[in-house]
Structure 1
Amino acid sequence: MAGASDTTRPGQIHGVPAEVTSFVGRRHEVAEVKRLLSVSRLVTLTGVGGVGKTRLAVRVGTLVHRAFPDGVWLIELAALNSPDLLVPAVCEALRICDRSVRPPLQVLIDHLEDAQALLILDNCEHLVGECAVLAEALLRACPRLRILATSRQALGIVSEQTLSVPSLPVTGHAVAGSHSGVAAGDAVRLFAERAEAVVPGFALTEDNRETVVRICRRLDGLPLGIELAAVRLRVLSVQQLLARLDDRFRLLTSGSRAVLPRHQTLRALIDWSYGLCTEPERLLWERVSVFSGGLDLEAAESVCAGDGIAREDVLDLVIGLVDKSVLVREEHAETVRYRLLETIRQYGRERLIASDGEARVQRRHRDYYRDLVARADREWFGPDQVSWFHRLRLEHGNIRAALDYCLSTPEEIDTGLDTASGLLFYWIAADLLHEGRRWFEKLLVADSGSPAARAAALCVHARLAVLQSDFAAAEPILEEARTLGRDEPLVLAQCQYVAGLAALIRRDLTRAGALLEDALARHRGLGHDRGVANTLMYVATAYSLLGRSDEAVALFDECLRLCEPRQDRWFRSYTLSVLGIEVWREGDLKRATELEQQAIRLKQPFDDRIGMALCVEVLAWIAADEGDPERAARLVGALREIWREVGGPPYVYLTRYREQCERAIRDRLGGPRFDALFEEGCGFSSAETTAYALREGEVQVTPVTPDQRSLSPLTHRETEVARLIAKGMSNKEIAAALVVAQRTAEGHVERILRKLGFSSRAQIAAWVAELSEEASDPDPGGRSGHR
């Protein structure tokens, strides 16, 4: 698994919010889940809502993370409304930025194929069938992967181990010397801790112990119920709380002494919490249930105000719901966000539907996120670019919900197309090309929608396809965009840009230059500065590759002059990196290094791995030319994991430089020494690669032994295939020798090329030969590490 995408060390748990309250009890369950994970590759925690499945899964993941060098990854599924978003959501959580047209499931399998990792699939119940199919596919293909799922029902596949998560015990074991002879159980301890948080000084005493025990029994030991009840101690004593719980549950059971089913217990408590809210607080609870993945105060004010809620009162109402433990407050880098626990969100949604308010609030929600995306699009080329990028990342679930609403409402297709089009640079910067294209495919199927909106959307759709090198799909889409947008000058300018970009990627440089020149002239005529900057960058690149160096440098400089006053980072970073290539070709290695390092710093807030890889690669070429082949070899090695992630080097027009550099380094160092240094670079984390590229601090390099190196990055089967390639066998012959389908053999060859960063079978054969020579050499020289 590619570790380079992570800025931390291997074995860390990812995507898990910090615990804002203590974790109480569950010793037996934690031990049992750990035991089950040791004997089974799929463990599912089942149980009613509010019993604590997610907290238990996260706690176990945190405790066992050292056993998973490729990470423990939390994938939250509650916010997904569509089954076809399941695999993309997992890819997104794992930070996979593949730009190929391979099916996302295959991309995910390739990424996890050799990974010793743990995936926590949280809240599977509404996608239980799809989660079962995904889990089975991953476990079959990825032998060292383990999955921990939480769901109200088991996934139901072979080899699954399930643990029904019980309520917390109310009493513990007998304790000598205590007044009652019985120790407080985890439920009582949880109540006491949460009570102390809302009533400072609260403590469990002999006077209140029995009352607290009875409260916890009344709540069936459900953690969510206990936490909701403990909040009432702000205004009630424990005795009053018990009396009111007894009254509420007696009404539900008509005085029966029978135990109330747990789901009714929790429902009754949430009913009570709802009933104790003011009318405006109830309305806010209902309305925030339409949000997916949380919200901030601005969103609450915009979507939830009106019809009984004054905008100026929203802040106080939010504070009230936080105080009542209905809303959960979460700290983010520059803002505070709020979310509803899934059980409480579902309750609020039921109330909203019952009041016939769902469609109205959903429309407000859609309007808000339509406007948010439009603002982000307008302001992308400016000083708030990074802030907008991070904000859209936080709002991804809500954007999906807004697009879903447009998709399900025929008269809203134009709005959906405009919103998806406005996300152009977000789809690109967040490496969500697959998802962006999928939304366009769905929205464009509808017959409704104005020609202008469709034309603009088709142009963006084609652009995303081109960035995936899916030229066969892009061409008819682009032609339709031209036809529908014949009266839309900006659409026509952008169509020329997309066509020119496609020609550039396909190395048709003369055609690329002509198309991009036309696109540039059109954008200039419209005064569209963002389009001018974007197109300048690629016209200059085409000129550079055509050998028109002076013209290329002039256009690069013009692009930078346009971007710098706006404090843009995205276009500047790419312009600097490609200008660095031109400067390197001219022989100014010092300035080329400065340009690439400046580009890296601009890219860091976006976690732009593809752009970062381009800069690192150019720095490797520079190091080779500076007479530092060891540094160059490490940098080339550091690239391998990134290329594996993204499906191979995307800039095919730079292939000859890539191959020349590697040949030069191998010739200088010799095969064994190159391989040793290459493997050292492969071991860098993303943060270490960046630090090494920028020469910031020291990167600790561990020398790679011959035994470690002989293992190679390939799986056992891929190693077999590599050896057969070295014997000169074709894909058809390899398939026959291994008794597999030819397509399977072809897939192995593609993965070998990608993992090794090679572009030909001859390179694989040479690599195998070098490994064989090295294995037969008892004392290969030149193994010393570098710091």
Structure 2
Amino acid sequence: MTMVTTGTYRGQPDGGLPAEVTSFVGRRHEVAEVKQLLFSSRAVTLTGFGGVGKTRLALRVGQEVRRAFPDGVWLVELAELDCPGMLAQAVAEALEIRDHTGDPPMRVLTRYLRDKQALLILDNCEHMVGECAELTETLLRASPDLRVLATSRQPLGIGGEQVVPVAPLPLPSCERPAPPLETLVKQDAVRLFAERARSVLPTFTVDENNRDAVTRIVHLLDGLPLGIELAAVRLRALSAQQLLDRLDDRFRLLTSGSRAVLPRHQTLRALIDWSYTLCLEEERLLWQRVSVFAGGLDLEAAETVCSGDGIARQDVIDLVIGLVDKSVLMREDHPGGVRYRMLETLRQYGRQRLSGSGGEAGLLARHRGYYRDLAAQARAELFGPQQVAWFGRLQKEHANLRAALDSWLSSPREDHAALSMAGDLLYHWITSYYLGEGRDWLKRALAADTEPSAERARALWAASWLAVIQADRPAATAMLDESRRIGERLHDEPVLAYVALFSGMVAMCEGRTEAAIELYRDALARHRRNGDPVGIALSLIRLTLAHSFLGDSSRAIAAGEECLSVCDAHGEGWHKAYTMMALGVEVWRQGDLVRAAELEKQSLTFNRSLGDRLGAGLNIEVLAWIAASQGHHQRAARLLGILETMWRPIGVPLSGYGHLARYHDECQAAMRQELGDAAFEVAVRRGAGMPVDEALAYALQEDRPERAAKGETPPLTRRETEIAELVAQGLTNREIAASLVIAQRTAEGHIEHILTKLGFNSRAQIAVWVGERARADGQ
């Protein structure tokens, strides 16, 4: 069985579109046109040059059509992706798919999307337009209900594509007599300038004194949203007239007095050139150096990579503040601290400047060295109180980690560093949704550096764990054999300990439980001699499960409790969560259902906070078995339905823990017998239809409104129930209004209330709900 699903716990049907942090100005006709085209065409591309507002337009359209796509509207940001071969992987990551099958990313995508009614927004396709075209055609052929909205500087060139050129914002007339002020301020370009100006100067307004200057400014900028925004920020220090004077002089110089004949992107380049010259010399230097980062950076990274050779480390913070003030860098608040991001256009500009200065190679070396050290530090601090913070930090730095690995592999005689770094990131690959990508990086590094070193042996056993999770036992066995040979040749005890551990996992997957226990014991003894708490914990977790599977309760409990002690002594959370899961299985087998449920809920609470989909799925599995043992048949069936959603994205149910599948099958068969086929299917569908956040809360039995606690939908009024039944009969809004002798607008309002109360996105879902309700009432 192969399954794929989302890999974090946002899980909302809007696909996690970013919130608009600034107002959306104008584009009413464009929004309407694109919406209409999306319902008549399966591929729509917004074209135009950098800074014209393609991305904002696409996001606004996505927000407005969400209800029409019950499986989500998903943004795929491609500006930071420099490797065309990673395109399908990037789309899978944006969809939050965590796949453990080992299949190529394109196959994973087509399998996941084949029955989905969703909208993909592919943003910034211009640097890999051919690859984006091929991916779009492949996905559309495989997924009949999929729509794709792309932004690019040129069309994708695929069959059936509808192209919408995105023009600059409409400009106010410069003719005399001038339009009234109230008319001028409603013009989109002027509105955008005024609103962005107020963000830096709250007292700013367009009035009779500055109206002419403002009109000329937006004309000089050709109505380009990015240009207008970059210019408006200068009002922090300049008046509108001073800003106009400087813009006018600068553009006249660049256009030789004939601005109209040059492409608009040269106008944007002129504006960026001008912004660059307004920076201090050290700020310009930092702008260039920050351009080597992908996906943003934090202050520590800026201080380490960008200091030296003209920038003192202690000055970096002031320079960062200066670039934030000048809107070159954007500040972003994250739970782990503040990060900074640069608009892609500005990043590319900085990279060109850096390349022209001759300093690019040195900065790239510092960048990849910093992230190699970061990965090594994360591995060293893996087992301890900073673990969760490290997991979160590595996820935010994923684009930079990817860029660093690629840089190491692209640099002559640097393959060894890539091998070490890819192995150091093992837990990043496992706990996030980058498992397939992590295995690919390890495969590339292993192919590039074939020397029988300790680093190669470690990379081999790390890659074998990923292969076990993906149920690729032959590959895991082959890598473990080579790792063992290197470990024996080098007398490397840590390598031999992990080889024994993961060989035990392979044996367990093959049904050789007693052999697995012997291997786990060998691994545990070696890890104890080496003083490795990570290896000790992993060995004890697996021993707990293996002893439990054989019915040896005393040994299972002893191993689990020892593992809890090890984790508590180090302030460790992730391995402890898996230990509680394993103990929960054995305690359930012993019949202590209350304690078993407590163990699973504690584990699930941690796994939910981390976003570990595999761990959460294991917890819900055991909670379903516990509910069945308690006689809570409806709850058990609903949890089994939730598992359909939880396991689908991972690709392999009970991935890496397949020996537990018999308990799942036994639970499912028992609940079907207790409830009857019809009631069982209704309960399973209700569980499968829950949003992920609600499903996890249900599994945890958290305090919430009575409707959620009972798994019931909120009550509809008598009129709403009547209208829901008419919707189920297939009547249109007009027909419903005529049938009930009410206004059509009133009928539409009732339907909106029904959708909101039930948490649905479409009339079809209302119809299904009515049918299920009728069947349940009939029983």
Fold shared, TM-score > 0.5 on shorter chain: yes
- Structure 2 counterpart of 1:109: 110
TM-score (norm 2): 0.88
- Structure 1 counterpart of 2:473: 471
TM-score (norm 1): 0.87
- Stretch deviating more after TM superposition (196-205 or 72-81): 196-205
2:34 corresponds to 1:23: no
Q: Map of 1:639-650 to 2, 5 A cutoff?
A: 639-649=643-653, 650=655
Change (3 A) 1:496 1:367: same
- Structure 2 counterpart of 1:687: 693
2:71 corresponds to 1:70: yes
How far apart are the structure 2 equivalents of 1:310 and 1:531? 42
- Stretch deviating more after TM superposition (607-616 or 274-283): 607-616
- Structure 2 counterpart of 1:369: 371
- Structure 2 counterpart of 1:46: 47
- Structure 1 counterpart of 2:683: 677
- Structure 1 counterpart of 2:216: 214
- Structure 2 counterpart of 1:142: 143
Question: How much has 1:360 moved relative to structure 2?
Answer: 0.8
3-state DSSP of counterpart to 2:572:
coil
- Structure 1 counterpart of 2:277: 275
- Stretch deviating more after TM superposition (284-293 or 224-233): 224-233
2:485 corresponds to 1:483: yes
- Structure 2 counterpart of 1:611: 615
How far apart are the structure 1 equivalents of 2:31 and 2:286? 36
- Stretch deviating more after TM superposition (90-99 or 642-651): 642-651
Question: How much has 1:239 moved relative to structure 2?
Answer: 2.2
- Structure 2 counterpart of 1:445: 447
Q: Map of 1:383-398 to 2, 5 A cutoff?
A: 383-398=385-400
Describe the superposition over 1:471-503 as per-residue Cα deviations: whole angstroms up to 9, x where unpaired: 111222222222223222111111111111111
Change (3 A) 1:461 1:383: same
Which ranges of structure 2 fall in alignment gaps of 5 or more residues?
A: 715-720, 725-770
3-state DSSP of counterpart to 1:120:
strand
How far apart are the structure 2 equivalents of 1:444 and 1:208? 64
Describe the superposition over 1:480-534 as per-residue Cα deviations: whole angstroms up to 9, x where unpaired: 2222232221111111111111111222111111111111111111011111111
- Structure 1 counterpart of 2:504: 500
How far apart are the structure 2 equivalents of 1:390 and 1:516? 30
Q: In the alignment, is the contact (CA less than 8 A) between 2:5 and 2:112 conserved in 1?
A: no
Change (3 A) 1:66 1:782: closer
Change (3 A) 1:370 1:450: farther
- Structure 1 counterpart of 2:659: 653
One-letter amino acid of the structure 2 residue matched with residue 551 of structure 1: R
How far apart are the structure 1 equivalents of 2:528 and 2:235? 66
Q: Map of 1:429-440 to 2, 5 A cutoff?
A: 429-440=431-442
Q: In the alignment, is the contact (CA less than 8 A) between 1:10 and 1:70 conserved in 2?
A: no
Q: Map of 1:530-569 to 2, 5 A cutoff?
A: 530-569=534-573
Change (3 A) 1:620 1:382: same
2:605 corresponds to 1:594: no
Question: How much has 1:257 moved relative to structure 2?
Answer: 6.0
Question: How much has 1:237 moved relative to structure 2?
Answer: 2.5
How far apart are the structure 2 equivalents of 1:571 and 1:779? 46
Question: How much has 1:246 moved relative to structure 2?
Answer: 2.1
Change (3 A) 1:119 1:778: closer
One-letter amino acid of the structure 1 residue matched with residue 612 of structure 2: D
Give me the CA root mean square deviation.
Answer: 2.5
Q: In the alignment, is the contact (CA less than 8 A) between 1:211 and 1:239 conserved in 2?
A: yes
Change (3 A) 1:449 1:44: farther
Change (3 A) 1:653 1:242: same
- Structure 2 counterpart of 1:623: 627
- Equivalent position to 2:674, from 664, 668, 673: 668
One-letter amino acid of the structure 2 residue matched with residue 472 of structure 1: P
How far apart are the structure 2 equivalents of 1:9 and 1:105? 22
Question: How much has 1:694 moved relative to structure 2?
Answer: 1.6
3-state DSSP of counterpart to 1:14:
coil
One-letter amino acid of the structure 1 residue matched with residue 14 of structure 2: Q
Change (3 A) 1:424 1:178: same
Change (3 A) 1:179 1:688: closer
One-letter amino acid of the structure 2 residue matched with residue 655 of structure 1: A
Question: How much has 1:782 moved relative to structure 2?
Answer: 6.2
3-state DSSP of counterpart to 1:485:
helix
One-letter amino acid of the structure 2 residue matched with residue 152 of structure 1: R
- Structure 1 counterpart of 2:759: none
Q: In the alignment, is the contact (CA less than 8 A) between 1:175 and 1:182 conserved in 2?
A: no
Q: In the alignment, is the contact (CA less than 8 A) between 2:336 and 2:389 conserved in 1?
A: no
Describe the superposition over 1:591-615 as per-residue Cα deviations: whole angstroms up to 9, x where unpaired: 1111111111121112222221111
One-letter amino acid of the structure 2 residue matched with residue 345 of structure 1: R
Q: In the alignment, is the contact (CA less than 8 A) between 1:281 and 1:320 conserved in 2?
A: yes
One-letter amino acid of the structure 1 residue matched with residue 309 of structure 2: D
- Stretch deviating more after TM superposition (172-181 or 315-324): 172-181
Describe the superposition over 1:615-647 as per-residue Cα deviations: whole angstroms up to 9, x where unpaired: 111111111111221211111111111222222
Question: How much has 1:347 moved relative to structure 2?
Answer: 0.3
Q: Map of 1:82-161 to 2, 5 A cutoff?
A: 82-161=83-162
3-state DSSP of counterpart to 2:193:
helix
Change (3 A) 1:390 1:447: closer
One-letter amino acid of the structure 2 residue matched with residue 107 of structure 1: V
- Stretch deviating more after TM superposition (474-483 or 339-348): 474-483
- Equivalent position to 1:696, from 702, 708, 726: 702
How far apart are the structure 2 equivalents of 1:8 and 1:373? 26
Change (3 A) 1:59 1:99: same
How far apart are the structure 2 equivalents of 1:647 and 1:11? 20
How far apart are the structure 2 equivalents of 1:238 and 1:101? 58
How far apart are the structure 2 equivalents of 1:448 and 1:574? 34
How far apart are the structure 1 equivalents of 2:773 and 2:702? 37
